[in-house]
Amino acid sequence: MTDKKYLHEIQGMHESGGVLYLASTPEDHLKNIKKYEFQKGDVLVNTFSKSGTTWTQEILYLLHNGVNPEEASHRPIKHRVPFIDFNRMWSRVMEMTPPRIFKSHLRSNFFARELRRGDLKVVVTLRNPKDTLVSFYHFYKTNMAFGNFQGEWNDFFEIIRKGELIYGDWFDFTLGWWSLRNEANVLVLKYEEMKRNPALNVQKMADFCGKEISQEQLELIVDSTSFVKMQKNASVNYADEAFMKKGETFMRKGKTGGWKEYFNQEQNQYIDDLLQTRCQPLGLDFDFED
C-alpha cells in the first residue's frame, strides 16, 4: 500500500508507472514480464478487464487444441490459459509446452520488445467503455480481491474519474493497443462485433493464428462459446472460485446497452467527451446498444 490516500483502499495495492495494481502483481513481477522472451507461436489474449476476456481465451484455446469443447471443459481455463499478471501463475507459464496461450490486462508497452521480435502474437478484444465500466463495477462488488467494495455506482464512477481503477484508465489502455492495430502480430477485435457476428470473428482469429478449420468446427466453436453455454460451463465461469462472493456469478449478462441503467446524464457526457477527443480522431468508435 502506498502512503497516498485513495477513494477505495485495497490491501497491498501499489502504483507503478502511474497505474494501480493488486498485490498479486508486484513490481518485480511486472519487470519480469517486461523482459520475458516469449516463444514462437505463443498467443496472448489482452483486454481491459470485463471486455470479453474469457470468451476470447476459450475460442483461442479451442483453435489451438483440436476444437474439442468436451475435452476443454474438464480443465479450468485458468490452468489452460494462465493469467500472467499474477505472480503465482508464473511457474505455470514456465512449465507450459506449446501451444501456449496466455491472458493479460497489461498495457502494450509491457510487450513492446516482444512485438518487435515477432515471436509473440496478441489478440486484443476491446469493448465499449460504458458497458465495460459497469461490468467492472459489478466485478469490484463481487470479487473479494478488490477489497470488498461496498460503494454504489456513483461512488465507483468517482474512482474512474480520479484514475484510481486497478489497471488504470480505460482510454490509456485502449489507445495504446489501438495504435498497434496494423501490426502483423496484433489482432484487434471488438466485443460488440463479436456478438453480432461470432463466426466471422472466430474465423479472423483462426486466420491470424494460422489455423485451418472446417465449417463444422467453426460452428462448434461458435455454439460452445455462446454466452449461454459458457455461463453454464464450470471450466470457464469461475463458479467455485474463492475470490467470488457467495451467490455471485463471474459472467453476469454479456449484453450491450446495460450501461443506460447506471449512467446519469453528466456521467454519460463525461465519457462521450473523452470518446470524442481521444478516440474519434484515431478512427476508433463503438456500438453502445444491441
Beta strand 14-16 with 101-104 is: unpaired
- Is 14 one of the annotated active-site residues of the chain? no
The DSSP string of 198-259 is: HHHHHHHHHHHHT----HHHHHHHHHHTSHHHHHT-TTTS-TT-TTBPTT--SS----SSGG
**179 alpha carbon, distance to own chain's centre:** 17
**Nearest partner of 61 among 78, 49, 47, 36, judged by Cα:** 78
In this structure, are residues 213 and 221 in contact, taking their beta carbons and an 8 Å threshold?
yes
**Nearest partner of 88 among 23, 34, 16, judged by Cα:** 23
For residues 22 and 167, what is the distance between their CA atoms, to the nearest angstrom? 9
**Residue in 29, 64, 105, 138 annotated catalytic:** 105
Helix, coil or strand: residue 191: helix
- Residue 66 per-residue DSSP state: T
Residues designated as active site: 105
